[in-house]
Chain A
Amino acid sequence: MNAVKKVERSGPAKAVIICCSALMREILQVNKFNGWDHFEVQCISAELHNYPQKICAAVQILIDQAVAQEQQVFVAYADCGTGGLLDAMLQAQHIERIPGAHCYEFYAGSAQFNIFHEAELGTFYLTDFLVRHFDRLVIKGLGLDRKPELEPLYFGHYKKLLYIAQSCDEKLQAQAKRAAARLGLEYQYHFSGSGDLGQSLKKFNAQIALKQI
C-alpha cells in the first residue's frame, strides 16, 4: 500500500499541511474559503487508521520533504491511535498538530464530543468522509462483505450511530441513515462544520504571517 500521496505540487509553496486523506476535502474548502493559496496540501491514506503504528513514519517522510524545501509544516492529524507517539515525534521538531484524540473530537469540539461519549459509550461515529466511503472503509474494511457473521463481534456493544457532519448535504444524511439501518443502530445527526480543524488552520496561517513580518 502506497500510503503517501502527493496532492498538489507546482513548485514549493511557503507552507505545507500534511493531512489524513479523510480531511483533505475539508482542508481544501477552508483554504479556498479564506483565499489561502500559499498552502500546499499533502495527504496520507486514511486506510492507515487501521494500522496506526504506520502513521508516524508516513508523516515523517512528508515532513522531511517539506523541511528540505524550507517549507513550514502543520500536521492535520489528531493523535489517531498513535498512543502519543505522533506528539512525541512532532514536539521534537517543533511542529504542531490539531488538538484532540481523533477527527470526531476535533470536528465536534472536545467538550461536545465528551458529552456525546458520556451520553452513550456505544456510539459509532461517522464524518462526511466516512459516510462517503462507508462501504469501502467500514463494510469491506472490516471484512463484513466477506464475513457478515462477524458483525455482532464488531458492533455488538454499539447502540447508536452519530453522524458528525461537516457539510449540510441531504444526500450524505440519507446515506448515513442507511448506514445506521445497515448496522441496526439508532441514528443521530450533529452538524459541526469544520470545527477545530478550521480554527487550527487559522492559527497556523497566523503563525506564518507573523514569521513573514
Chain B
Amino acid sequence: MSDDNYEEEDLDLASLDDDELVEQMHDDLYDGMAEEISEGTEILLSRGWTPDKVLNDALVGGMAIVGVDFRDGILFVPEVLSAAGAMKAGMAILRPLLAETGAESVGKMVIGTVKGDIHDIGKNLVAMMMEGAGFEVIDIGINISVEKYLEALEEHQPDILGMSALLTTTMPYMKVVIDTLKEQGIRDDYIVLVGGAPLNQEFGDAVGADGYCRDAAITVDMAKEMVAQKRAA
C-alpha cells in the first residue's frame, strides 16, 4: 500500500469523517502502523463510538482483510505479524473498556503450545484474533504438558481447548492430551481445536480433535460456529 513515487504527508486522522477514518485504520492495520491505530481508536472513542463498535468495525474488519490477503498469498507472515502488533495497540486501549461494559463473552478459550515446542507465533495470532472476535482467551504459553492443560481447564472451565505445534516431532503430543481427556471422562466437555504449520485435516481427525484450524481467521469462524452449536444443544 505504499507508493515510492508518492511523497507522503502527515495525515490528520482527526480531520477524517467516521467512514474515512475506519477505512484509513484498515489501511494502517494492513501496514502495521501501531501508533496510528492507537490514535484512530482514541478518536473514534472520543466521538462516542462504543468500544465493541470500534473493535468490530475498525480493528476486526481490518484484520479480516489482512487474513484474506494472507490466505491468498498476497501478504506473508512478517506483514501479518506487523498487522497483529498494530491491532494489539488498539486492543490495549479497548480491552479495559470492553471489560467495563460487561459485554457478554462469545466464549472462552484456553490455548497453549504443546510440550517440547517453544513456537508461539501462530498461537499468538489465533489468541489475538479470538480476543478480537469477542472470546475470552487464556493463553497458557509454550511447552505445555498435559498436566498444565488439565490444570488450566479445571481452573478456567473454557468452551474451547486450543493446541498449537510447529514441529512434526511435537504435534503427536496433541493426541496425548486428547487421550488423557478421554481417560478422565471430560473429553466432551470441551471443543478441541488444533493448529500449526505441519498439521492437516487428516492429522486433526486422527488425534480426535473437533477441528483443524488452517489459520487464525478460520479458527475464529470455526470457534464461533462450534460454540453456538454447543450452547444450542
Contacts and interface: CB of A to CB of B under 8 A. Distances in A.
* Main DSSP-derived SS at the B contact region: loop
A121 interface: yes
B203 A84 contact: yes
Nearest to A101: B168
Contact of B203 (A52, A83, A143, A158): A83
Interface stretch (B15-23, B75-83, B181-189, B219-227): B75-83
Contact of B118 (A52, A81, A158): A158
B82 A147 contact: yes
A79 B168 contact: yes
Given A52-B197, A122-B118, A81 B78 contact: no
A83 B200 contact: yes
B168 A83 contact: yes
A52 to B, nearest CB: 6
Given A102-B168, A146-B78, A117 B198 contact: no
B118 A157 contact: yes
A70 to B, nearest CB: 32
Interface in B8-57: 32
A74 to B, nearest CB: 20
**Which bracket fits the contact residues of B?**
20 to 34
Contacts of A101: 167-169
B210 interface: no
Contacts, number: 61
Given A102-B168, A153-B81, A121 B117 contact: yes
Contact of B116 (A81, A121, A149): A121
A150 B203 contact: no
A150 B78 contact: yes
B142 to A, nearest CB: 6
A143 B78 CA distance: 5
A172 interface: no
Interface in B133-147: 142-143
Contact of A82 (B82, B116, B142, B198): B198
Interface string A50-81: 00110000000000000000000000000101
Question: Which 10 pairs of residues, A with B, have the shortest CB-CB distance?
Answer: A143-B78, A83-B198, A157-B118, A101-B168, A81-B198, A79-B168, A101-B169, A121-B118, A83-B200, A147-B78
18 contacts: A52-B197, A79-B198, A81-B168, A82-B168, A82-B198, A83-B171, A83-B198, A85-B202, A101-B167, A101-B168, A143-B81, A147-B82, A150-B78, A153-B121, A153-B124, A154-B121, A157-B118, A158-B118
